[in-house]
Structures are given as structure tokens and as C-alpha cells.
């Protein structure tokens, strides 16, 4: 499925920074849960028990259909949920602030894990957003202020986050643009004078100002043509190869394949599969019937849609939320399967099962081949 040549990758181990956890983990999310309270006591189960780690130098792609909870998860990590949201679980952020700054706002020293879900707004605003976690936004056009030049916006952010003034500020602004491959000759342009790709680079430059060790990119390729998608994800990959952790949220599986080391598939608010990207996109392929169906739905694969529609998050079925759409479902699916060995399914697809046209969430025949019979 990969189009063009994906960039060479270094490993998390090779690029782990010297500060923070010895194993290079930057973010450890445990049983993250988000509920929205609605009028009449109704509750939306936007995210349930999401757990994953992200290491320095690593890219994790969080994928899934629209409305499955990806952006809510990202907002929870940044403390940007609305007032009707309640969170549970932990999201521990390790490591100091900027990787290459010494002192200045936000520090630069190693720290124990900061629980992003328990941190107060002042801590998140002063030490996390922009400083320890850079946000590459979904829509750069909406993120950039239309009436100010890129230089003005970048320089203001550099001053705010690094304290630079005078000639040092001008130099730091140029350096910030360069880091995101934004051409210096375009710094005095307004957002409407930029192409989609340059607007994305300007937004990325803002996210990189404080050299945050963790980058969170929420649908960074929305609205870009395929060539720009590839360039954008390759540039983001470069920031991971420089030693940052990159959490990319996308429903573009081709982009995820190009950029990610690991893939987390969300369905109805839960992570249903979490595995190595090579294994996911190549062999043995996804093991969760939904994840397999998602991949097989791609035009360049079987082009067979997953039957049915996702459930309402305010009205989830008992047990496995995918069971009503799943050809493999059995009585066992009346209970929610735990994420075990990277897959949350009572009847995972056997490793190495064929991904043939029409495969989708496969059924009884393949289950029998895998020796499961009519497991209940």
C-alpha cells in the first residue's frame, strides 16, 4: 500500500534522550477513560480504558473510524476537554521540558511522571502545552491567526516559550521556522498567502518552538493531497527520528503505514489492537476482525467495507461493541474482551490467515482452520 519511498528510520533505543525514564518512555497512558455527561443524565463513553506507552524516537499512530474517540483522547492528554467531561485513569508524562534548552520557562531538568489527567490547568498551561507537548493541529488554516504574518506569530510564541528578546528572538524565530522546513523567505507572508503544505509547516513550526520532547499530531494531513500527505508525514517522521515521541491521530491508514512504528486501532472508544506497524500492514496482518476489516476496506486492498455502522457511544451494547458487526461473534462476546497480547478479541484472526479479497471480518471457515471451532 505504501506509495513512494518511506524514509529510513532510526529506533527509539538509538535516539532516547538522557533525561526522564531510563527506558526512554515519554508517555505512559493507563486505563484512560473519558465520559461526557449530557442532559437528562445520559453519558457518552467517548474513551474507555485506553492504555499504551510512547517512547522517545517512536511514532504511534492512533487509527479508527470517525467518532471512535481519537480526538477526545488527545484532548484529554492536553487538558482541553470541555466542562462536561470526566476522566479516569492516568497519563504519565516523563522527561524534562525542552530537550535542547537550558533553563528558561518550563525547566529542562528531568522529572518524575506528571499525571496529565490530574494536573491543574495552571500546570498544563505553564509547563505542558507547547513546552513538553507540542500540538500539530488538524487544520493549520484555523490554527494560524489570519491577520498576522507567520513571522509575527512565530516570534510571539518563541518569546513566550523561550523568553528570547531582541536579536536572539529574531534568530530563534528563523531557527524555529527552519526546524519545520518553513522557508525563511516566506516568513512575512500571511496565512492566506500560503499553500496547504506551507501552512502545515508553519503550524508545525509553532508546535516545535520549545523543542517539546513529545509531539501530538491530530489529523495533520486532513485536506492535503496525497503528495503533500506523504511530505507532511515524512517531515513528522523526521521529528521522531530526531528523538521526539510522536503520537499521530489519523484515519488515513496509508499515512499511518508510512510514518508509524506501532499502530493502535480504536473502536467505539476502546483500543482493540495495538501492535507493530510492520506486522499490522504486512504479515501477519491485523488480528482483530475490525482492524482487519478496516485494512481490507482500502481501495488498494480488497475494497470491501466493514458491514454495518459503529454503535452510538451513548448507547453501547453489552460486551464487545464490535460483535453486532462481526462474523466471528459468539456467545463469548457478551463480555468485553481484555487487550491481551495486543488484541482485544475473543476470536482473534489467526496469525498468517490469508488477507484475500472479501476477507473482512472472516468467519466460521477460517475459525475452524485456526482450530477454534465454535468457541463460546
| Cβ pair 223, 139 in contact under 8 A | yes
Q: Residues touching ligand ATP: how many (CB under 6 A)?
A: 15
Interface map 249-278 toward ligand ATP (x if CB under 6 A): --x---------------------------
Q: Which of 46, 359 has the CB closer to ligand ATP?
A: 46
Task: Work out whether 72 is an interface residue with ligand ATP (CB under 6 A).
Answer: yes
Q: Does 238 bind ligand ATP (CB under 6 A)?
A: no
Q: For ligand ATP, which residue of 294, 313, 333, 349 counts as binding (CB under 6 A)?
A: 313
DSSP 8-state class, residue 343: B
* CA–CA dist 342, 306 (Å, integer): 21
- The answer to whether residue 328 forms part of the interface with ligand ATP (CB under 6 A) is no
Least distance (Å) between residue 62 CB and ligand ATP: 9
Q: Single out the residue of 8, 66, 166, 371 in contact with ligand ATP (rule: CB under 6 A).
A: 66
Residues 38-57 that bind ligand ATP (CB under 6 A): 44, 46
Q: Give Cα separations from 167 to 153, 161, 251 (angstroms).
A: 16, 16, 42
Instruction: Establish whether the linkage from the previous residue to 284 is cis, with ω within 30° of 0.
Output: yes
Measured from the CB of residue 67, what is the shortest distance to ligand ATP in angstroms? Answer: 4
Laid out side by side, the sheet with 245-250 consists of: 133-136, 214-218, 245-250, 59-63, 262-267, 270-276
Residue (69 or 130) nearer to ligand ATP, CB: 69
Q: Are 346 and 320 in contact (CB under 8 A)?
A: yes
Contact between 36 and ligand ATP per CB under 6 A: yes
Chosen residue from 6, 9, 49, 67 binding ligand ATP by CB under 6 A: 67
Binding of residue 69 to ligand ATP (CB under 6 A): yes
Q: Which of 41, 82, 146, 167 binds ligand ATP (CB under 6 A)?
A: 82
Q: Are strands 245-250 and 214-218 parallel, antiparallel or unpaired?
A: parallel
The yes or no reply on residue 247 touching ligand ATP (CB under 6 A) is: no
Asked whether position 179 contacts ligand ATP by CB under 6 A, the answer is no
Separation of alpha carbons 28 and 108, rounded Å = 20
Contacts 24+ apart (CB under 8 A), 83-87: 84/36, 84/37, 84/38, 85/34, 85/35, 85/36, 85/37, 85/46, 86/34, 86/35, 86/36, 86/37, 87/32, 87/33, 87/34, 87/35, 87/117
Residue of 291, 293, 318 lying closest to 303 (CA atoms): 293
State which residue, 172 or 256, has the beta carbon closest to ligand ATP: 256
Q: Which is nearer to ligand ATP, 54 or 72 (CB)?
A: 72
Q: Does 217 bind ligand ATP (CB under 6 A)?
A: no
Q: List contacts with ligand ATP (CB under 6 A).
A: 36, 44, 46, 64, 66-72, 82, 84, 251, 313
Amino acid at each position: 500500500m505504501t506509495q513512494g519511498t518511506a524514509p529510513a528510520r532510526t529506533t527509539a533505543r538509538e535516539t532516547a534522550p538522557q533525561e526522564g525514564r531510563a527506558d526512554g518512555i515519554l508517555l505512559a497512558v493507563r486505563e484512560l477513560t473519558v465520559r461526557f455527561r449530557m442532559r437528562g443524565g445520559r453519558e457518552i463513553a467517548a474513551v474507555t480504558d485506553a492504555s499504551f506507552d510512547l517512547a522517545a524516537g517512536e511514532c504511534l499512530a492512533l487509527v479508527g473510524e470517525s467518532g471512535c474517540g481519537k480526538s477526545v483522547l488527545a484532548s484529554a492528554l492536553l487538558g482541553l476537554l470541555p466542562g462536561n467531561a470526566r476522566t479516569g485513569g492516568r497519563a504519565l508524562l516523563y522527561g524534562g521540558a525542552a530537550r535542547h534548552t537550558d533553563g528558561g520557562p518550563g525547566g529542562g531538568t528531568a522529572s518524575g511522571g506528571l499525571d496529565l489527567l490530574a494536573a491543574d490547568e495552571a500546570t498544563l498551561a505553564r509547563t505542558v502545552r507547547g513546552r513538553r507537548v507540542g500540538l500539530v493541529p488538524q487544520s493549520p488554516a484555523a490554527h494560524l491567526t489570519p491577520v498576522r504574518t507567520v513571522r509575527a506569530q512565530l516570534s510571539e510564541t518563541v518569546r513566550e516559550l523561550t523568553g528570547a528578546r531582541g536579536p536572539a528572538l529574531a534568530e530563534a524565530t528563523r531557527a524555529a521556522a527552519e526546524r519545520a522546513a518553513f522557508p525563511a523567505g516566506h516568513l512575512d507572508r500571511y496565512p492566506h498567502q500560503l499553500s496547504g503544505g506551507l501552512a502545515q509547516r508553519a503550524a508545525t513550526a509553532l508546535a516545535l518552538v520549545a523543542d517539546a520532547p513529545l509531539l501530538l499530531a491530530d489529523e495533520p494531513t486532513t485536506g492535503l493531497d496525497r503528495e503533500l500527505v506523504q511530505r507532511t508525514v515524512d517531515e513528522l517522521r523526521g521529528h521522531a527520528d530526531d528523538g521526539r515521541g510522536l503520537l499521530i491521530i489519523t484515519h488515513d491508514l496509508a499515512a499511518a503505514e508510512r510514518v508509524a512504528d506501532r499502530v493502535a486501532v480504536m473502536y467505539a472508544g476502546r483500543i482493540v489492537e495495538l501492535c507493530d506497524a510492520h506486522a499490522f500492514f504486512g504479515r501477519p496482518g491485523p488480528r482483530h476482525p475490525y482492524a482487519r476489516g478496516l485494512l481490507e476496506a482500502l481501495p488498494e486492498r480488497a475494497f470491501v467495507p466493514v458491514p454495518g455502522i459503529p454503535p452510538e457511544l451513548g448507547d453501547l451494547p453489552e460486551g464487545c461493541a464490535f460483535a453486532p458487526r462481526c462474523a466471528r461473534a459468539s456467545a463469548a462476546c457478551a463480555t468485553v474482551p481484555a487487550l491481551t497480547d495486543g488484541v482485544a478479541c475473543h476470536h482473534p484472526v489467526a496469525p498468517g490467515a490469508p488477507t484475500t479479497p472479501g476477507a473482512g471480518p472472516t468467519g466460521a471457515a477460517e475459525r475452524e482452520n485456526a482450530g477454534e471451532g465454535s468457541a463460546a
